[in-house]
Amino acid sequence: MPQNRIEDLHVQFGPFRASAYRVLRFLVLVVGLAAMTAMTVSVVRVEFQSWLTSVLWVCLGVFAGELVLKCWPGSTSKGEPNYLFTTAGAIDMLSVLPIPIALLVGVSADNAWLLASLWLLKLTSLVPGFALLGRVITLEARPLASVLVIVLLLAATALYILERGGQPERFGSLPLSLWWAVTTLTTTGYGDSVPQTFLGRLIAGMVMICGLGVFGMWTGILANGFAAEHRRRDFLRNWDLVTRVPFLRNLDPPAIIALTRMLRPVDLAPRTIVVRRGRPGDCMYFIAAGEVEVRVEPQPIRLGPGSFFGEIALLKDSMRTATVITTAPSTLLLLEVADFRDFMAHHPDLARAIEKEAARRASINTGGAPEERQATAHLVDTLGYDGE
Amino acid sequence: MPQNRIEDLHVQFGPFRASAYRVLRFLVLVVGLAAMTAMTVSVVRVEFQSWLTSVLWVCLGVFAGELVLKCWPGSTSKGEPNYLFTTAGAIDMLSVLPIPIALLVGVSADNAWLLASLWLLKLTSLVPGFALLGRVITLEARPLASVLVIVLLLAATALYILERGGQPERFGSLPLSLWWAVTTLTTTGYGDSVPQTFLGRLIAGMVMICGLGVFGMWTGILANGFAAEHRRRDFLRNWDLVTRVPFLRNLDPPAIIALTRMLRPVDLAPRTIVVRRGRPGDCMYFIAAGEVEVRVEPQPIRLGPGSFFGEIALLKDSMRTATVITTAPSTLLLLEVADFRDFMAHHPDLARAIEKEAARRASINTGGAPEERQATAHLVDTLGYDGE
Amino acid sequence: MPQNRIEDLHVQFGPFRASAYRVLRFLVLVVGLAAMTAMTVSVVRVEFQSWLTSVLWVCLGVFAGELVLKCWPGSTSKGEPNYLFTTAGAIDMLSVLPIPIALLVGVSADNAWLLASLWLLKLTSLVPGFALLGRVITLEARPLASVLVIVLLLAATALYILERGGQPERFGSLPLSLWWAVTTLTTTGYGDSVPQTFLGRLIAGMVMICGLGVFGMWTGILANGFAAEHRRRDFLRNWDLVTRVPFLRNLDPPAIIALTRMLRPVDLAPRTIVVRRGRPGDCMYFIAAGEVEVRVEPQPIRLGPGSFFGEIALLKDSMRTATVITTAPSTLLLLEVADFRDFMAHHPDLARAIEKEAARRASINTGGAPEERQATAHLVDTLGYDGE
Amino acid sequence: MPQNRIEDLHVQFGPFRASAYRVLRFLVLVVGLAAMTAMTVSVVRVEFQSWLTSVLWVCLGVFAGELVLKCWPGSTSKGEPNYLFTTAGAIDMLSVLPIPIALLVGVSADNAWLLASLWLLKLTSLVPGFALLGRVITLEARPLASVLVIVLLLAATALYILERGGQPERFGSLPLSLWWAVTTLTTTGYGDSVPQTFLGRLIAGMVMICGLGVFGMWTGILANGFAAEHRRRDFLRNWDLVTRVPFLRNLDPPAIIALTRMLRPVDLAPRTIVVRRGRPGDCMYFIAAGEVEVRVEPQPIRLGPGSFFGEIALLKDSMRTATVITTAPSTLLLLEVADFRDFMAHHPDLARAIEKEAARRASINTGGAPEERQATAHLVDTLGYDGE
């Protein structure tokens, strides 16, 4: 699966180099496709053909280089299949090979470069949703396709019988009539073939209304399928993150499950302001990875993975008491106030633990000798700290 | 955020002056946009140009005045950013500045006033849903956009190859072909460019059916995202209201959470009939703010915030026993009978408390000396009263 | 509310006379509207004018008669508002009065009868869904309308600027441009005005894609709103029915709530076969009203309200052991096997009670003297009987 | 019901012969419909008429043969109604009889063969979704149809009044105006009749926006209905499978219900790789039917119905430790890792049982004499085995 490969990259180069690589690859793709599109406009081609061709060759070169690097012996870990036989590998080969082959066998340059539209398939590897979409459609394709085919062919036959006399050039054969049926059922309605008889229009009206129904059915199925798949995907991602926070790992299992369903991960660049002093608090944060700085006087405190902050504003329904800034690329788990209250209500033990910690912190924040605060900073590094 | 600003107003002027201000602002907006639209119709412009221009200047003046008032030193509370640097401030400046600037640099009046369409952006600040919409779209934009782009460009390339021979003026370049693809995939179907070859029509049919699918996917994602965001927003709003009702505040936390999910707030103007004697009872009410009058003999009883009424009809499955009218602008929390029964079943303690109170009231309603009733009215002011 | 009135009728005349009345009223409506439609076709009018006019007068007479009967002093119970001031009354008056008034003031007959299209409003009283639709739309109308207006007016202004030069007759004023915008945003796409410039088409493409998004948002909101309202309505209806079945009334409250959410009421005419011997059993039934006959040898057994049947096939995963037929108009509560298993798992007490009863019955069905069976028939009349 | 019949076949011939029969029947259908379509294209008919007619006769013969076989005395089990009187039987007769009858009564061959489009109805028997669709639509048809009719007829009347003067050939009668209304409300927008007056366009715009709303309502209702029906259908199917796994059958009832909602059945052909050594584990499997081979050294182990495998990767969050391949047509129940963790958290007893078994297995896998492993293979055949 393509995702695995990108995750490998993530491990090899760190999240930020991987992200830069993804952005670059995406830019090359956009530039290449734009050049291909411009090539087909005759006015533009006449003037800039050599420039556009160079751009296209460069893009092709980049993709070819990427493919070679990924297939290089040693880049695949033992036990995994060769990259060329994965979906991503097949797509990469489809992006690179057809164009030179077409040019070699004598296809004109104009037509050969149209094969650059295959580069679009690379987008599929950037999108996590395609696997979902595929699975949902596979599950439900049979009933949807049947309804479509039945309505289309019955309507086309009826219109063929009714309209072929009056409009032989538009309804004179079943394929022509099917063309009308598909433009009508999907409510596209080009208007190039329109029934003229009373009965034909009656059937056309019913086909259009069926179109609404088919739409509705399709949407209903996709909506439900997507909802289920999303919940599953989010759960897995959150679970991985939750188990990195010691404070949460020690909850009893049903509480972990409930919390996993509630948390929402946020990836933040360094020096991003997470909460701002004086603003209303609408969520609290657990640190899954990275580091944040709590701007308290006289000296800021740094919190690492496993800490939490932001709970005081939720417990007291008050404003944020300190500004918190990331100091490194961080992944935070965000718990909204609605879910926070729900969770606290059903898990009074955790509620008490968080409240006790919050009270301890409040006493430090308001007074306390600097040495003492340093000591606590050490302690909260494993237990969490309120950054307000 | 714009909402905060309007809430400030709410605090400064009270809910009803704030509401009048919103209606006025909305009217100015509508009148201004109508004048701008009328200006573009040559028949109208010839006759009423001076009138329309005056209207537009007045609207612009109102918006300019609003902006100045809001930026006035002292109108922003300490610690908040300057109004001009908030989203609402930027929108207000976009509404006011471009038109005079355009007129100054010599743009003709006709064209300069078209910039009044930027006033529309003010509508975004009146609508709480935009933040939701934005968040939902941001989360899911990548897969949706990718599917769109892939289908569009592949279909356009295929049709460009198939149809450019027969219809060079409609499919003679990829941009032309993309225009066809976008009108077809979205099922708009202008009918200005229609494929004529058999293969072209086959692909067109598939694009239309993909269009249904993309619709469905889009809808599914938006529907699920909206549902989640709505639940979150309603929970927060209801929580604020529930905690103002003493009777509810003392429930155990999971019961408060469950009730918060069930209640639906209703804002009512003074002298609105809430329940009418003799009608079937389908909900009960908690008073979060304001005051109602229960029309019982010999003398009506007034109930303030924290009281409840309407539960007798639900407990006994009977008709309303008294008419209840608001005497001040009020916010009531409505608990539908379906939810009432569900809640009573799962929280027998509350059920008993409400039943006891209802029994006590019934005995007062049917008999009891006036003095005694006065005393109870005092009591029910904190405990709730059945207004039927 | 119109529903109340129809329910009154239900009480006055019994469900079947009320149903006949509804069908008749619906037929008169259909015939009247068909006649009105036919009147506008000149070919038909020339030949059948007098016939059609007579039909229309008859329909008008029927509606007038209905209105008079409903307003008749004494037909309204005390305490209710006069019929004429209810929504249904207003609709009935709108159906009856405008046509004669129009004829009196001298409107030509052709035009006056077009007012018969107001009869359509009567359909609203036959449909329970309108109140739902109204409530859902009211709640969410503001954000939806704002998005529509903003996209429409911004797109129209942009196209007005871009296209007015090339196509003055189609984009020469903002209202013309708005017409294009609305046909495009709703993906109707008549094709009467189509942008020709590159930028115009780019914006048009974005408007179409926005159209998909607006669709999606709209659908998501309506879908969620409808789901919530439906659940509420079904709960209330089922609750009424469940409380008529003694066996269910004695469950503990959370079990009643759970069951109420699961049951699905079915209205059946007399002599309908409910379950057929030898077919696989996929649900059991509780009798809320009416009577059924269990065809067991040597002599059928009759079961009245409060009985249940069909549980043996579910408990043993076997075929139906007897045919059951209604002997009177009946309302049965259907519990599907999926829900049956879920419910039994969470309520072991009820499971045991039903199993004991089923075992007792099985012993009777297989053997047992006729007298004994008669005795049990008496007993099961209150306790339920398995009709398989 | 058609499904029953196909299930009978399943029992008679085994799943794979039944599946081959279904594929064959589907192919005959596709070929027949393609031939019918080709017949209507005059260019094709001139050249290949005799070939196409032969193909059509062969298809008809196949369907006739199928019908005869199914009606053959003895093919129906006692107590069931005759095949000809079931829905599937009626469809089969509609496929076979009308064509020869039409030819006999003298209809031309071209027209008679158009009746082959009735063969499409056979598709309904292959699709389980139609019953669902029907039930959902029946439940909600009344409100949907009413909204459609009201909007259509009111809009048509308004446009008839407004536009009949200017465009008598397009809006000159109510039926013509209705044709416009239906193409507009469904957002089909042929563009053959377009309002020209200002008021007409205003109403048209509102009709289009209503179209979005009707779409949304329709979709919402269908989506909710489908979701409920799907859950019910999946539950029943899974329940049948779960009760075949001894390990699961002994759980307490609420756990069985919860698990039944989570499992997803997968049908696999023989020699399919289920899990691959070294891949990340994202689900575990229970064997409902068939047999799998766990490729462990020194000798693979076979697991039959009632066993489970794949849990070690989930418990340890590790890679698969062995490859598992089916050796016979198998039905596996798949439990995704998200659901696995949820289930383990709420059913600690089962969690302990699975963990103990996993620990025992791990010790065998790493060491242990071959004889001992043979013995365990016997044991795990009833208890389950981890195939990683």
Cross-chain Cβ contact A188/D191 below 8 Å: no
Cross-chain Cβ contact C120/D154 below 8 Å: yes
Cross-chain Cβ contact B224/C220 below 8 Å: yes
What is the mean predicted confidence (pLDDT) over A309-313? Answer: 81
What does the mean pLDDT of chain A come to? 78
* CB proximity C219 to B under 8 Å: yes
Binned at pLDDT 50, 70 and 90, residue B387 comes out as very low
Q: Which residues contact A94 (CB under 8 A, 6 or more apart)?
A: A118, A121
d(CA A114, CA A122): 16
Interface of C with A in 185-214 (CB under 8 A): 187-191
Strand C264-268 with C330-336, pairing: antiparallel
On the question of pLDDT at A162 being above 50, the answer is: yes
CA A208 to chain centre: 34
According to DSSP, the residues that pair with D306 across neighbouring strands are none
Residue A188, helix vs strand vs coil? coil
* CB proximity C131 to B under 8 Å: no
For D206, the closest chain C residue by CA position comes to C182
pLDDT tens profile D184-228: 988 888 988 899 999 999 999 988 888 877 777 777 777 777 777
Best of D40, D177, D354 to mutate (most A CBs within 10 Å, chain A): D40
Cross-chain Cβ contact A221/B223 below 8 Å: no
According to DSSP, the residues that pair with C325 across neighbouring strands are C273, C293
On the question of pLDDT at C1 being above 70, the answer is: no
What is the mean predicted confidence (pLDDT) over A345-349? Answer: 77
d(CA B97, CA B118): 11
Give the DSSP letter of residue B120: G
Q: How many CA atoms lie within 13 A of A160 on its CB side?
A: 25
- Cα separations (Å) of C344 from B88, C238, C243, C336, D249? 57, 19, 19, 12, 15
Cross-chain Cβ contact D183/A208 below 8 Å: yes
Q: How many CB atoms lie within 10 A of CB A227?
A: 19
Count Cβ atoms within 10 A of the Cβ of residue B43 and give its class: 0-12 exposed, 13-18 middle, 19 or more buried. Answer: exposed
Q: What are phi and psi of C330, to 5 degrees?
A: -130, 150
Interface of D with A in 135-174 (CB under 8 A): 137, 148
For chain D, the distance separating the N- and C-terminal CA atoms, rounded to the nearest angstrom, is: 43
On the question of pLDDT at B46 being above 80, the answer is: yes
On the question of pLDDT at A56 being above 80, the answer is: yes
Interface of B with A in 241-280 (CB under 8 A): 252-254, 256-257
Residue A368, helix vs strand vs coil? coil
In total, the C-beta contacts within 8 angstroms joining chain C to chain D are 147
pLDDT at position B102, please?
92
CA B133 to chain centre: 12
For chain A, the distance separating the N- and C-terminal CA atoms, rounded to the nearest angstrom, is: 42
* D168 preceded by a cis bond (ω within 30 of 0): no
Let me know: does D338 contact A236? Beta carbons within 8 Å.
Answer: yes
pLDDT tens profile A213-224: 777 777 777 777
pLDDT at position A125, please?
65
Chain D contacts of C348, Cβ < 8 Å? 253
Cross-chain Cβ contact B208/A214 below 8 Å: no
Count Cβ atoms within 10 A of the Cβ of residue C87 and give its class: 0-12 exposed, 13-18 middle, 19 or more buried. Answer: middle
For chain C, the distance separating the N- and C-terminal CA atoms, rounded to the nearest angstrom, is: 43
Q: How many CA atoms lie within 13 A of B112 on its CB side?
A: 18
Binned at pLDDT 50, 70 and 90, residue B133 comes out as low
pLDDT at position D372, please?
39
pLDDT at position B74, please?
63
The model carries a pTM of: 0.77
On the question of pLDDT at A5 being above 80, the answer is: no
Outline where C72-128 has alpha helix (H).
87-96, 98-104, 109-114, 121-126
d(CA D204, CA C182): 9
pLDDT tens profile A96-137: 999 999 999 988 888 889 999 888 888 876 565 556 666 666
Best of C137, C212, C230, C243 to mutate (most B CBs within 10 Å, chain B): C212
Chain C contacts of D231, Cβ < 8 Å? 338
The CA dihedral of B165, B167, B168, B173, to the nearest 10 degrees, is -90
d(CA A191, CA A182): 12
* CB proximity D224 to A under 8 Å: yes
pLDDT at position B376, please?
39
| Best CA proximity match to D41, nearest among A171, C149, A359 | A171
Tell me how close the Cα of D220 comes to any Cα of chain C, in angstroms: 4
pLDDT at position C221, please?
72
Percent of chain B with pLDDT over 90: 18
Q: Which residues contact C328 (CB under 8 A, 6 or more apart)?
A: C270, C290, C291
Helix axes A253-262, D337-346, angle to 10 degrees: 140
Interface of B with A in 70-89 (CB under 8 A): 79-80
Tell me how close the Cα of C223 comes to any Cα of chain B, in angstroms: 7
What is the C-alpha R_g of chain D? Answer: 30
Tell me how close the Cα of A385 comes to any Cα of chain B, in angstroms: 24
pLDDT at position D177, please?
93
Chain B contacts of D190, Cβ < 8 Å? 191
pLDDT tens profile B219-262: 777 777 777 777 777 777 777 777 777 777 777 777 777 888 88
On the question of pLDDT at B350 being above 60, the answer is: yes
Residue A167, helix vs strand vs coil? coil
Cross-chain Cβ contact C142/B124 below 8 Å: no
Say which of B79, B175, B205 has its CB closest to residue A37.
B175
pLDDT at position D296, please?
82
Q: What is the pLDDT along chain D (388 residues), one digit of tens a residue?
A: 334 444 444 444 445 566 677 788 889 999 999 999 998 888 888 899 999 999 999 999 999 998 888 887 665 555 556 777 777 788 888 889 999 999 999 888 888 899 998 888 888 765 655 566 666 666 666 667 777 888 899 999 999 999 998 999 999 899 999 999 999 988 888 988 899 999 999 999 988 888 877 777 777 777 777 777 777 777 777 777 777 777 777 777 777 778 888 887 777 777 888 888 887 777 888 888 888 998 887 788 888 887 888 887 777 777 888 889 888 888 888 888 878 888 877 777 777 777 777 777 666 555 444 443 433 333 333 334 444 3
One-letter amino acid at B301 equals I
pLDDT tens profile C333-372: 888 887 888 887 777 777 777 777 777 766 655 544 444 3
Say which of A218, A337, A346 has its CB closest to residue B236.
A337
What is the C-alpha R_g of chain C? Answer: 30
What does the mean pLDDT of chain C come to? 78
Helix axes B198-242, A337-346, angle to 10 degrees: 60
> Going along A189-279, which residue ranges are E strands?
264-268, 273-275
Binned at pLDDT 50, 70 and 90, residue A383 comes out as very low
On the question of pLDDT at B177 being above 90, the answer is: yes
d(CA A85, CA D62): 43
On the question of pLDDT at C4 being above 70, the answer is: no
Let me know: does D32 contact D116? Beta carbons within 8 Å.
Answer: yes
- Give the lowest-confidence range in A250-264, C131-145, D327-341: C131-145
Q: How many CB atoms lie within 10 A of CB C79?
A: 10
Say which of B189, B219, B223 has its CB closest to residue D189.
B189
d(CA A380, CA A361): 9
What is the mean predicted confidence (pLDDT) over B75-80? Answer: 55
On the question of pLDDT at B362 being above 70, the answer is: no
pLDDT at position C16, please?
54
Let me know: does C202 contact C155? Beta carbons within 8 Å.
Answer: no
Pair of tokens at residue C156: 């129209």
SS (H, E, C) D19-75: HHHHHHHHHHHHHHHHHHHHHCCHHHHHHHHHHHHHHHHHHHHHHHHHHHHHHCCCC
* Predicted ipTM of the assembly: 0.73
CA D127 to chain centre: 6
Best of B114, B179, B186 to mutate (most C CBs within 10 Å, chain C): B186
Tell me which of A326 and B352 has the higher pLDDT: A326
d(CA B157, CA B144): 20
Binned at pLDDT 50, 70 and 90, residue A139 comes out as low
Tell me which of B56 and B342 has the higher pLDDT: B56
One-letter amino acid at D230 equals H
Let me know: does D282 contact D264? Beta carbons within 8 Å.
Answer: no
Tell me how close the Cα of C97 comes to any Cα of chain A, in angstroms: 32
On the question of pLDDT at A373 being above 70, the answer is: no
What is the mean predicted confidence (pLDDT) over A348-375? Answer: 61
- Cα separations (Å) of A160 from A167, A170, A173, A193, A203? 10, 9, 7, 12, 12
pLDDT at position C78, please?
54
Say which of C189, C219, C223 has its CB closest to residue A189.
C189
Tell me how close the Cα of D188 comes to any Cα of chain B, in angstroms: 8
d(CA C339, CA C358): 18
Q: Which residues contact D169 (CB under 8 A, 6 or more apart)?
A: none
> Going along D233-356, which residue ranges are E strands?
264-268, 273-275, 283-289, 292-295, 301-303, 308-309, 323-326, 330-336
pLDDT at position A16, please?
54
Tell me how close the Cα of A383 comes to any Cα of chain B, in angstroms: 25
What does the mean pLDDT of chain D come to? 78
pLDDT at position D216, please?
74
